[in-house]
Structures are given as C-alpha cells and as structure tokens.
Amino acid sequence: MKKRTVLASVRKTLSGIQTLVTGGCGFIGSHLVDALMSSGSRVCVVDNLSSGRLDNIGQWLENENLEFWRGDLLNENDVTRIVKGCHVVFHTAANPDVRTSSVSPGVHFQQNVVATYSLLETVRKVGDAETIVFTSSSTVYGEAPKIPTPEDYAPLEPISVHGASKLACEALLTAYAHNYGFKAVIYRLSNIVGRRSRHGVIYDFVQKLRDNPYELEILGDGTQTKSYLHVSDCMEAMFLGLGESKRRVDVFNVGSEDQIDVKTIAQIVVKEMGLKKVRLVFTGGVDGGRGWRGDVKNMLLDVDKLKSLGWKPRFNSEEAVKQAARGIVTESLTS
C-alpha cells in the first residue's frame, strides 16, 4: 500500500515539470518515458538512435507533452539545446553491452564517461536542473565476496571496462552534485529484463534459436548465477527512490531477491519458444566458466535499502525471465 501511495505522490510531483530522458529510445529509457508521460510530465527525449529505436516511444510522438531530439551527448550544441528548461534529468544513455567493453574499451569510455561529463558540464553551465537520476550498474562491484552486496560495500573493483566506466560516471556525478548544487540519485541495476530489450542473454538466446531451433550455444559453463528483475519492478523502484531520497547524493541497489543460472534461462527460453529437443552446447568459457572476460559469475544485490522505503519486487528472477522471454519472442515475431 505504501509503495502505491509513494508512486502516486512522485508522479503527481513530476506532473507538469519539464524532464529530460537521455537515451529515451532505449530499453530502460523508453519505459521511463512511458511512466513520465502517463504521469502528465512534459518530457524531452534525446537519443542518437545508435541502439535505441524510435518505435519504442512511438505512442507518444504526436503528444504535445513530448519533444524528441535526435542528438548526441558528445555534441555540445545538441546537449545545450536539450538541457535548457529541464528540471529533472534521467540519464540512461550509455553503451550497455558489458561483453564488448573488453574488445572496444574506447567506445565505452566515449559513450559512457565522456558523454556523462559533457552532460554534467552543460547542466553546470545552464543551471536549470535540480535533480539528475543516473542508471548505473551492478558491475561496479566487480566480484564482490559479500553476497548479497549492499550499497556501502567496499572496495569497488569492477572487472569489466563497462563496470569501470559506470563507476567513473558515478564519481563524476557525485562530485558535480556536491560542487554545483543539484541532487543526484544513482541506481545500481541488476540484470533488468522485459519487452524492448535488445541485448543480454535472453535476447541473444531468442535470436540464436530463431536461426537454429535445434541447437543453442551458451557462452561459459552455464553456471553463471545472477539476479534478474522485470522492468516494471525497476520503474517502481526508481520512482520510489526518487520520491523518498533526502540526501544530496543517494545510491540504491535495484534487483530481485534471488538468482537464476544461465542454463535454466536457456531452458526457459526454449520452452517459451515452443521448441523441443534443443541441444544445449556450452562453450566452457574463460576464467573458470565465465561467458567472457569481465563477466561477473555470481551477482546478487542487497535491496534492503529500497525495501525499507516500501518497495518489493513483484516477480522473482525466474518469473521475470519468463515474462521477458515471452515478450521478446512476441516482439521478434512481429519485427
């Protein structure tokens, strides 16, 4: 009951306020746009459409409360024109692919760290933004020996370039918030899954099985065990945290309370696609069965901080994976 009351309050607070969503045509960004538009906010979306899809916010494109800019955070002129007048900034724009970060570290540095610096510099100069909400990642913890891992765990030692770039963004955001007077809310997300997701293990499995419905290659040894959270639960967590946060800089873990391994995810996807007698082929992986270098093999976040505010995920990891697989399979058939 408290959760619904807080969410209603937050959305009422944001009603009529100009908000900015960077990466608003991406997976998480577009779901934020849905929630904000439904709440009556005036929303500006910026996306370079390198990985995001305009169709993700298609239902809002003719709405007078939404303004879409095809722009890049690495372009100072683009950033300046979109930041003006926006009081709350949801910064979701990033390269989300953990696996490729070891192959192309420069891409993650530019699209994550430099792009965030560019946004913060413009916010500093323009001065309209009061709050910046940042989607960080569980990968900032690296191979934390403490499971579940709380927000105050230290030292933070990411093992992927993606995790390092997210941690660098957190540090920049924290320093800018303290120096230039705005508020920062940072969400360290577990594996968020659901409709519109076009990267990650579930999407990869669906694509592989569409190409070959008799055999599925699985990176690693299949025992990689992590937390998966449905995007609807993620949205509720983010709005609750935003409404309840009282600190200049606040950090929240966002994830389910349990885990699921990759082999089980593969079996769920096979079932959701209506396939039978699919041969699972494990590559064996690297560094003790990881799917790739930098792949955290065991991840579970401590979400007690959000739970103390009244939030609780509706779906556990298995249910979230099933829901997501069903949605991605449906989308893949219509795309």
Q: What is the pLDDT of residues 30-74, one digit of tens each?
A: 999 999 998 888 999 999 998 899 999 999 999 999 999 999 999
What is the pLDDT at residue 5?
A: 47
pLDDT at 4: 53
Q: Which region, left, alpha or beta, applies to residue 47 given φ > 0 means left and ψ of -120 to 50 means alpha? A: beta
Give the mean pLDDT of the chain.
Answer: 92
Would you report the helix, strand and coil content of the chain in percent, each value rounded to 5?
45, 20, 35
Instruction: Extract the runs of DSSP E, i.e. beta strands, from the chain.
Output: 18-22, 42-47, 66-70, 88-91, 131-137, 183-189, 191-193, 215-218, 225-226, 228-230, 249-254, 260-261, 279-282
Q: Lowest-pLDDT range, 16-20, 139-143, 325-329?
A: 16-20
> For the chain, where do the domains classified as CATH 3.90.25.10 start and end?
201-226+258-297+314-334
pTM score over 0.85: yes
The domain 201-226+258-297+314-334 having CATH identifier 3.40.50.1100: the answer here is: no
Is it true that the peptide bond before 213 is cis, omega within 30 degrees of 0? Answer: no
The DSSP symbol for 58 reads: G
What is the fold of 2-193+230-254? Rossmann fold (3.40.50)
In which residue ranges of the chain is CATH 3.40.50.720 found?
A: 2-193+230-254
Which has more pLDDT, 334 or 137?
137
Q: How far is CA 78 from the centre of its chain?
A: 23
